[in-house]
Structure 1
Amino acid sequence: MRVAVAGLGWWGKQIISCLEKSPRFDTRYGVDPLPSASALDFLSSLNIRHAPDLASVLADPDIDGVILATPHQLHEEQCLAVLAAGKELFCEKPLAMTAAGARRIVDACERAGKVLGIGHERRYEECFELVQELVGEGALGTLLLYEANISHDLFKNIDRSNWRLDPKHAPAGMMTATGIHQTDLCVALFGEPCEVRAETASLTFAPPASDFVTAALKFKSGARATITLLSCVPYYGRVTVFGDKGWVEVMTEGNVDQGKPTVVTQCTGTQAPRQVTVYHPTDTVTANFESWAAAVAGEKRYRFSSAELVDNIRIFEAIVRSSAEDGRTVSL
């Protein structure tokens, strides 16, 4: 697939590096209106052309697809433009800032007959594939609770003018950075959400940037989830899924790009021995892209349904709304 990558920040360059490993992709353009000198040097080193705007790439008949790694507030408009141009679409998370926006993108994608790729690579981690397998087999029994704390300090020292700290692009603390992955996993495991309560705070960051968010979720199945995110502490990553027959805990030692191991502990009973497995990192970002490309080629189904993509943004929008209204319960 001949593609363009829009957005040449840290993650956009990470994406291009992943695509370079895959025989499924030929990256023709890096798109950015104000690229840094290092970004241009990066493109040049890979013999990839720079385009200053998305419109010029969408007009190029030699481009099959576009991958968006742009500021979040731009996603909806850009997604719709990519689909209107007849190109394949992969969008980094979050898909949109509102559920209505997500529905517009999903509907446009279905009308165009396209497979919507999404940057939720955590579903491709072996540890979470195991969790999904255990849930599917009924090994945990009736699902009760998803409990998570995913925190890091990667934003602690970035310039305060960076869009990643701007509530317009990144409301509710780290929800758009790490929390949106957690809610995606919740939707994959528990199904449709029905209620959200959330709170944010600026504990060490200067407002309006917030460095703390906690959310309590309820699903139509009856299962619950609690998610906490801090933007000002050394990396901490723990997810535990509880059922009435057992639980499984996933402890990650570093962010996706740090190459650290993950320790998974399974418990199937109070007296039963606990099973501990260490997973070493795999390239889940590339795996997600290749899975999307295979789905585009009609070789297999993609892991994300349209309903799941919209439900995740419904949760995100409700967290933003609830936290802005002093933790008011939002019904979905």
Structure 2
Amino acid sequence: MAEPVHVGIVGLGRWARVLTRAAKKSNAIKIVAGFSRSEEKREAFTRDTGIPTTSDLKSLLADPSIKGVILTVPNEQHLPVAAEVAKAGKHVYTEKPIASTLEDGLAIAALEKEHGITVTVGHSARLMAGVRRIREAIDAGELGRVALIEANFSNERALELTPQTWRWYKHRAPGGPLSQLAIHMFDLVHYIGGEISEASSIASKLSPVGAEVDDQSLTLLKFKDGKVAYVGSSWTSPGIFSLRVFGAKGLMHYEIDFGVWDTPDEIHKSSSLYIQRGKDGFGKREVLQDSESDMFRIELELFAESCRSGKGNELSADNGNVAVACVYAALQSIDSNGQLVKLADVMAAARARAGEGDRHVA
């Protein structure tokens, strides 16, 4: 086998450890250096993982053996750090969302052509075995023509927010669960259903803690081919991650225990996956065995292959920007009392604003 691709990691908080554990299970990728501006975080990361760190990002980027860099920094730092990585000729992996704004996301996508690198975005949910099984059934015609998709990703985060947490604030977590949880599902239904054309959304604030952000989110999506989808997200409920797809010949349902999200190789032990065919009722649902998989290891291996080949993968900047566009279309719809908003209009407006920003810089 080829030697593992050597990569660095920037931002050494909790999620860096999740991805480091995943990388250590793979023969395709090896994290060899880390960076954080915080000495305390650097020392703790090295102590916990055995991976050396540096106090200087430039020295990490100057290492010719490092072919790519994983970013687990706050959302608003994705663009400036990705730009530094790309200028150094390194491939970029950034956690979802691709950026905190669509303009920044489009700028990150532009780094690929500007510097000849690839961008991988950590929308790992589409890599879960149960999700892949549903997509396989659709592609094989097993469900017939798909007309409706339901997706829900919820947890209790809004009950724990304080003014000291960044998710408390509208400008850092737009729409609350809309940008933090539903964005996973926007990528998921895009993967399952194809091109999304319009979005309509409503939101509410029910948590007693008094945060700025909404904590209930419901978005309706319409696809180019006419199918529709519902994406729901509550920030005041027990954790759930579920997907249901309705077709003319059958429906499929997939649900996981959110409590094992950080250990995805355990998901298959407590997940639910079934198919209900034709005119069969509840009693004739066929329970399917969910396969063991590790979405975090798989996404890092996709990144490693992009570092090796110089070719993009399905966790692309373009797909990442579609998910962010869904968030901003939903936010615009919320502000206009649920009016349908075209994703193409949201994209065009973001490109125009990004162009104005370029002219101001010039």
TM-score, scaled to structure 1: 0.90
Task: Tell me whether 75-84 or 216-225 shows the greater mean CA deviation.
Answer: 75-84
SS at match of 1:279: coil
SS in 2 for 1:177: helix
Cα offset for 1:163? Answer: 2.0
Indicate the residue corresponding to 1:297 in structure 2: 308
Q: Is the CA contact (8 Å cut-off) linking 1:203 and 1:211 kept in structure 2?
A: yes
> Is 2:205 aligned against 1:202?
yes
Per-residue Cα deviation, 1:160-193 (whole angstroms, up to 9, x for no partner): 4222333223211123332111111111122222
Indicate the residue corresponding to 1:265 in structure 2.
274
Give the aligned partner of residue 32 of structure 2: 28
**1:285 partner letter:** F
**Counterpart for residue 239 of structure 2:** 235
The change in CA–CA distance for 1:326 and 1:77 in structure 2 (over 3 A counts) is: farther
- Cα 1:196–1:53 shift into 2, 3 Å: farther
More displaced stretch, 97-106 vs 126-135: 97-106
Unaligned segments of structure 1, at least 5 residues: none
Contact 1:192 1:311 in 2 (8 A): no
Amino acid at match of 2:15: W
Q: Give 3-state SS (helix, strand or coil) of 1:178's partner.
A: helix
**1:96-245 alignment runs, 5 A limit:** 96-154=99-157, 156-157=159-160, 159-204=162-207, 205-245=209-249
SS of 2:80's partner is helix
Q: Deviations over 1:278-324 (max 9, x none)?
A: 42653210111112212332398723355433322221221233234
Instruction: Give the count of matched residue pairs.
Output: 331
325, 329, 333: which is aligned to 1:322?
333
Change (3 A) 1:169 1:58: farther
Question: How far 1:95 sits from its partner (Å)?
Answer: 0.5
- Residues 252-299 of structure 1: CA deviation (Å, up to 9, x unaligned): 122412534211111121137321124265321011111221233239
Q: Which residue identity lines up with residue 289 of structure 1 in the other structure?
A: L
Tell me if structure 2 keeps the 8 A contact 1:246–1:266: yes
Q: Which one has a larger percent helix, Structure 1 or Structure 2?
A: 2
Match of 1:310 in 2: 321
| Superposition deviation, residue 111 in structure 1 | 4.0
In structure 1, the partner of 2:14 is: 10
1:249 to 253, 256, 267: 253
Distance change (3 Å), C-alpha of 1:163 and 1:32: farther
- What are the ranges of 5 or more consecutive residues in structure 2 without an aligned counterpart? 344-362
Q: Report % sequence identity.
A: 26
Tell me by how many angstroms 1:250 deviates.
0.8
Aligned amino acid, residue 265 of structure 1: Y
CA distance in 2, matches of 1:166, 1:22: 37
C-alpha separation between the residues in 1 aligned to 2:293 and 2:311? 21
Identify the residue that residue 79 of structure 2 maps to in structure 1. Answer: 76
CA distance in 2, matches of 1:111, 1:246: 46
The one-letter code matched in structure 2 to 1:95 is: I
Q: Return the alpha-carbon distance in structure 1 between the equivalents of residues 334 and 316 of structure 2.
A: 27
